[in-house]
Every structure is written in C-alpha cells, then in structure tokens.
C-alpha cells in the first residue's frame, strides 16, 4: 500500500533533481545567471548541491521499494 506514494515521491524527486542539474549546467555553460542576487559560483554550487541531493533522495526512495 505504501509503495505507490513512495514511487511517486521518488520519481518526482529524481526528475526534479535531474532537471535542476540539467538547467544549472546549461545556465553555467551559456553564462546566464543561476540565482538572482547571488554571485555566479555560489548560485551554481548551491543549485548543483540541491540537484544532487534531490536526485539522490529520489533514487533512494525508488531503490527502497
């Protein structure tokens, strides 16, 4: 019964993390600002850190089913 919500949450976290990493990579490569009001390296590192954390959490949820 609990595997349905866990699968949905895992897929959502994994997709969000992968999308955030992809978006951050494209923004850094093109020179676009990653976070408004923050320096470019700090914004990029924070976005990559959260992207990896969300991707890892999603993979952990999917594997623990």
More confident residue, 11 or 2: 11
Helix (H) or strand (E) segment spanning residue 5? helix 3-30
**Does the pLDDT of residue 2 top 80, yes or no?**
no
Q: What pLDDT digit, counting tens, does each position of 11-32 carry?
A: 999 999 999 999 999 999 999 9
Report d(CA 41, CA 5) in Å as an integer: 36
Mean pLDDT of the region 31-43:
92
**Does the pLDDT of residue 60 top 60, yes or no?**
yes
Q: Which residues contact 31 (CB under 8 A, 6 or more apart)?
A: none
| Residue among 24, 17, 53, 22 at smallest CA distance from 40 | 24
What confidence score (pLDDT) does residue 1 get? 54
pTM of the model: 0.88
């Amino acid at each position: 019964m609990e595997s349905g919500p866990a699968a949905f949450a895992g897929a959502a976290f994994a997709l969000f993390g992968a999308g955030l990493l992809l978006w951050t990579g494209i923004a850094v490569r093109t020179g676009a600002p990653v976070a408004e009001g923050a320096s470019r390296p700090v914004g990029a590192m924070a976005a990559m850190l959260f992207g990896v954390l969300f991707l890892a959490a999603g993979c952990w949820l999917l594997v623990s089913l």
